[in-house]
């Protein structure tokens, strides 16, 4: 099978992941529900299982906004990636797993808010809508959330490599070959860290920009005073 060449900038975004075989059809995202410096050993084992069994990228994802955006930027830069395996626990604060499943099931609304999730943080304002659409066209989600056995992660990655459809826990997995479109290149733009506070329309955005400009002027005046 002829594989595609990823974009020269792939993977565009840095993160907590291991880069493996660029020709691989699968990536692994393990939900992280702890601080970055307190990642438990069982989650590290899941990530390593994905990397060791041949995933293109294997790592953790913590938030359903910037975390998803970085992951999407990396995936759409490599047309060979056709599956996203979701593993790990749920994040009680972010509902990251629920939000990812809702993204694949329902997409986003006009404000790039993920439809059908209770996560208040599930908004993707920092990437083009084209990136989100490409993800949904290019990639199939394999839901292994709450799976704690690294062996099952390895089996899932292995199944994604097969030339013929391979049954795995209700899925028929095989490598369909690269996505037909050219790789997309881009990184997070605005880096809105609290998208649920963003304005609903252009009028509100203009008012917010004016308020921010006034705050900066006041700061500058204060700095000029002896």
84: nearest Cα among 206, 173, 146: 173
Q: What is the sign, positive or negative, of the torsion defined by CA atoms of 208, 213, 218, 223?
A: positive
Q: Specify the pLDDT at position 190.
A: 59
Q: Would you give per-residue pLDDT tens digits along the chain (226 residues)?
A: 899 999 999 999 999 999 999 999 999 999 998 877 778 899 999 999 999 999 999 999 999 999 999 999 999 999 999 999 999 999 998 999 999 999 999 999 999 999 999 999 999 999 999 999 999 999 999 999 999 999 999 999 999 999 999 999 999 999 999 999 999 999 987 555 444 445 555 555 566 567 667 777 776 776 666 6
What's the N-to-C CA distance of the chain in angstroms? 70
What pLDDT is recorded for position 40?
87
* pLDDT for res 225: 63
pLDDT of res. 193: 45
- Fill in the DSSP letter of residue 52: H
What pLDDT does 215 receive? 72
Q: Token digits for 64?
A: 């359903």
Q: Tens of pLDDT along 23-46? A: 999 999 999 988 777 788 999 999
Residue whose structure tokens are 């089996």: 155
> Looking at residue 51, what is its pLDDT?
97
pLDDT for the residue numbered 196: 45
Locate tokens 């691989």: which residue? 24
Helices within 139-197 (DSSP H only): 150-161
């Amino acid at each position: 099978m002829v594989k595609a060449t990823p974009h020269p900038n792939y993977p565009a975004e840095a993160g907590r992941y291991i880069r493996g075989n660029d020709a691989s059809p699968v990536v692994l995202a393990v939900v992280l529900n702890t601080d970055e410096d307190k990642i438990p050993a069982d989650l590290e084992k899941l990530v390593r299982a994905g990397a060791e069994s041949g995933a293109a990228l294997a790592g953790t994802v913590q938030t359903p906004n910037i975390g998803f955006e970085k992951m999407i930027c990396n995936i759409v830069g490599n047309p060979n990636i056709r599956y996203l395996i979701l593993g790990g626990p749920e994040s009680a604060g972010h509902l990251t797993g629920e939000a990812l499943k809702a993204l694949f099931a329902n997409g986003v609304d006009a404000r790039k808010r993920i439809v059908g999730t209770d996560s208040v943080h599930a908004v993707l304002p920092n990437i083009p809508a084209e990136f989100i659409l490409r993800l949904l066209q290019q990639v199939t989600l394999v839901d292994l959330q709450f799976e704690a056995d690294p062996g099952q992660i390895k089996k899932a990655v292995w199944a994604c490599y097969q030339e013929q459809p391979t049954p795995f826990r209700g899925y028929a997995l095989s490598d369909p070959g690269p996505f037909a479109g050219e790789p997309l290149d881009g990184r997070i733009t605005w880096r809105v860290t609290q998208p649920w506070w963003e304005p609903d329309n252009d009028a509100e955005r203009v008012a917010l920009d004016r308020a921010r400009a006034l705050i900066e002027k006041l700061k500058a005046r204060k700095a000029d005073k002896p």
